[in-house]
Structure 1
């Protein structure tokens, strides 16, 4: 093989390597972009989870208050029923 042929062969192989390297770099850029998108979505999920946790806590607090009020209403209603029954007996 002549020197010129050998050099041409080496140049072809270098071009091939460069093309593959360019593809790898482009792919790496795509991966970085995708990773950034995933991180943004994850941050959004974390924020929404925090909001939902806060909503759950507020809802449970309000529900506890309602349950307490219902318990108080039941106690008053119970007393009223006894008083009504006593009044009916007095008649």
Structure 2
């Protein structure tokens, strides 16, 4: 019970949240690579094919929807705050 009281304090919740988000991102990337990466072959039949020259599938994997969404946007985290401090009055 002393261990639970030590780790389940309210001060530790942000640490749990940060670690949980990091594990979620790693899990998402792992599942994405296993299911849709053209260079990862889980089935024995696909592994027997050897090296494939399938550039269209690789381009489809690389140009995912998030990348297409962010392509023409400025690389800013908080654009309103950036404009407030950087634009002349």
Q: TM-score range by the shorter chain?
A: 0.3 to 0.5
| Larger RCO (alpha carbons 8 Å, 6+ apart) | 2
TM-score, structure 2 normalization: 0.34
- Counting helix residues as a fraction of each chain, which structure ranks higher? 1
Q: TM-score, normalised by structure 1?
A: 0.33
| Greater Cα radius of gyration, structure 1 or 2 | 1
